[in-house]
Each structure stands twice: as structure tokens, then as C-alpha cells.
Amino acid sequence: MTSTITPDTSAPVAISVEEQQFNDLIEADSRIEPRDWMPEGYRKSLVRQISQHAHSEIIGMQPESNWITRAPSLKRKAILMAKVQDEAGHGLYLYSAAQTLGATRDDMTDALIAGKARYSSIFNYPTPSWADMGSIGWLVDGAAICNQVPLCRASYGPYGRAMVRICKEESFHQRQGFEILLELMQGTEEQRQMAQDSVNRWYWPALMMFGPPDDDSPNSAQSMAWKIKRHSNDELRQRFVNMLVPQAAVLGVTLPDPDLHFNEETQQWDLGEIDWTEFHEVLAGRGPNNAQRLQRRRDAHDEGAWVREAAAAYAHKQSARTEEMAAK
């Protein structure tokens, strides 16, 4: 980051033409495309981030799909199905982006179901009430949007383009969640209680979605230098809380942080201490639903095997027939 004026007496580090081109593109805030030369670390870092992101979308279908059959009206059922379908779509956009970097779909899927790959910890929390569909939309998708909007300008072209599509669709997710909570808050005392209880459970885990605090985020600095990431974890978390406070007032819910207060000096909302032990526990696989989420993903993969096999066999048969016809 800092430049030195002391003459460098060590031998100059040879830098290849390709690497210089890469550095120039990053420096100029241009985009790196799949066929461009890129440092191995850049490729690895992207594959890690994009595949984790894809896995999160895929696992993220589970907490909500639970409620499809129990949604309170036909309209809510249709909305929820559309939303869960979107999550599947987002997973596919992202897997495609990771595949342009040489990662194969099978390897990524295998890593996920073997429990070797990570996905967002938020999806390891249970959804015991209908109000949780509201909280997921408002808080979880809200936090995701906050994280993802800057990713639309990520230096890797296919990732940025996938994020543009995803962000467009996420705003529907957040609004429908807000609406669910708003309707509950305008309902009976019992419904208001259900909404508040749900917000109490999702608020802190949603804040943890931005990742560990800046001084404990090992990959951040390099990611920012490569312009994959544009803002620090704490910066985005703060931005999110600043947006939430007035929204919570509209809803009439209380954010479960007794230390939350407006700082006149910084003109920001200062938040209380986040329980990072909980974050690390869930990340390490000891959250309330980790085992169940993975088992369900594994079962779905196994139960879908015959569909993949049938499609491949059919395609094989068709192409054999086409070749036969051509030979005649």
C-alpha cells in the first residue's frame, strides 16, 4: 500500500507480460474475463468465493421450502415458490461463473455434500414460524443485497454479471419479506408477538452474514486489492444497520440490541457486541441445523441420480441415431 522513496537495492522482480496486463486491467478498474491470464491465487480465491456463494443459494432453498405447503394463502404459496425457484436459479448462475474458472460442477457438488465446502451459516438456523419467511426476506435477503450490490462491480466479469441478475431478483425477495412482517404487525397481538419473536431470532445471525470483524478477516485485504471485494465487512454491516433502524420503525418491531444507539458524531448507529463465538460454532458445523441441511442436500442429490442418468442416456441415444442417419 505504501510507496517507499528509499532506492531499492535488491534485484528487480521480473514480472511477466501477462501479469503486467492483469495488473493494468485491475488498476484501470476494468474487468478480467475467463480467457485472460490471471494469478493462481486470484483464480482460487474466486472459485472459493463463488462456489460458496452458489452453495449458499442452493442450501438457502431449504429453510423456506419447508413453508411452501403451509403458507397461509394461495398467493403467499405462489410467491414463496417463485422465491425458492429464484434461489435455485441464483445457484446455477453462480455455478456457471465458477465453471468459467475451471471448477467442475461435479467437484463443487461433491465438496458440498461431503461437508468440505462452506456455505453461509445463516441457513443453518431453523424456521419454526411463518413470520420467519418475513424475517428471512427482510433481514437475510436484505443483508445479502447489501453484500451483493458492490459485487456487481467485482473485477471478474462473469461473477459481476451473475450478481447483476441476482440483485435485480433479490429486491423482490426483500420486499415480500417486509410485507409479510408488516401484515403480521398490523394483525392480532399474537401475530405481532410472532413477528417480534422471529426478528429477535434472525437479527444477530443476519449481522453475522457480513463475516468476521475487519481485524479478524484473513482474506479481505487481498480480495480488496484484486477488486473482488469493494468494501470491508464492518463497513457493509454498518451500512446495513443504518438502513434497518428506520425500516424497523415502520414495521413497529424492536431490534434486539439494547446497546443500539445513534452516534451524533459519526451520524451512524452504533451497535452492541456481536457474539462471535456463536458465529464460529455454526461455521464449524455445530449450528442448530447443519447436519439436517447437508443430509437433505445429499438425499436430493442421490434421489435425483436417475434423472441425470436418464437424461444422459437419452442424449446419447439421440446423438447415436443422428450419426446413424448421417451415415446412411
Partner 1 sequence: MTTPGDSAAEIWPLWEVFVRSNRGLSHVHVGSLHAPDETLAVRNARDLYTRRSEGVSVWVVPAAAITTSDPDAKGAFFESPAGKNYRHASYYSKSEGVKHL
Q: Among residues 66, 68, 77, 89, which is the contact residue for partner 1, using CB under 8 A? A: 89
The distance of Cα 126 from the centroid of its chain, to the nearest Å, equals: 18
> DSSP character for 256?
S
Cα distance between residue 83 and residue 88, in whole Å: 9
Per CB under 8 A, the list member of 22, 42, 67, 93 interacting with partner 1 is 93
Residue 15 in contact with partner 1, rule: CB under 8 A: no
- Between 110 and 275, CB nearer to partner 1: 110
- The count of chain residues that interact with partner 1, using the rule CB under 8 A, is 32
CB 229 within 8 A of CB 237: no
Kindly tell me which residue out of 65, 66, 77, 86 binds partner 1, with binding defined by CB under 8 A: 86
Which of 51, 62, 99, 232 contacts partner 1 by CB under 8 A?
99
**Piece of the chain touching partner 1 by CB under 8 A; list 111-119, 124-132, 194-202, 310-318:** 310-318
**Least distance in angstroms from the C-beta of 4 to partner 1:** 33
Shortest distance, position 193 Cβ to partner 1, whole Å: 35
Residue 318 makes contact with partner 1 by CB under 8 A: yes
Per CB under 8 A, 85 contacts partner 1 = yes
Concatenate the DSSP letters of all residues of 259-301 into one string.
T-EEETTTTEEE-----HHHHHHIIIIISSSHHHHHHHHHHHH
Inter-residue contact 206 to 143 (CB < 8 Å): yes
Q: Which cell numbers in the block locate residue 154?
A: 467485482
Q: What is the DSSP string of 44-91?
A: HHHHHHHHHHHHHHHHTHHHHHTTGGG-SSHHHHHHHHHHHHHHHHHH
- Among 291, 285, 298, smallest CA distance to 112 is for 298
For residues 31 and 24, give the distance between their C-alpha atoms in angstroms, rounded to a whole number. 10
Nearest-Å Rg of the Cα atoms of the chain is: 23
SS3 156: strand
Question: φ and ψ at 15, to 5 degrees?
Answer: -125, 130
Stretch that binds partner 1, among 52-60, 104-112, 214-222, 240-248 (CB under 8 A): 104-112
Name which of residues 138 to 157 contact partner 1 (CB under 8 A): none
Q: Does 92 bind partner 1 (CB under 8 A)?
A: yes
- The reply to whether 308 sits near partner 1 by the rule CB under 8 A is yes
For the CB of residue 106, give the shortest distance to partner 1 in the complex, in Å.
Answer: 7
DSSP secondary structure letter of residue 10: S
Q: Does 96 bind partner 1 (CB under 8 A)?
A: yes
Q: Which stretch binds partner 1 (CB under 8 A): 57-65, 69-77, 96-104, 186-194?
A: 96-104
Site for partner 1 in 17-36 (CB under 8 A): 33-36
Contact stretch for partner 1 (CB under 8 A) within 48-56, 158-166, 220-228, 289-297: 158-166
Rounded Cα–Cα distance for residues 236 and 150 (Å): 10
Verify binding: residue 65, partner 1, rule CB under 8 A.
no
**Interaction site with partner 1 (CB under 8 A):** 33-37, 82, 85-86, 89, 92-93, 96, 99-102, 104-107, 158, 161-162, 165, 169, 308, 311-312, 314-315, 318-319
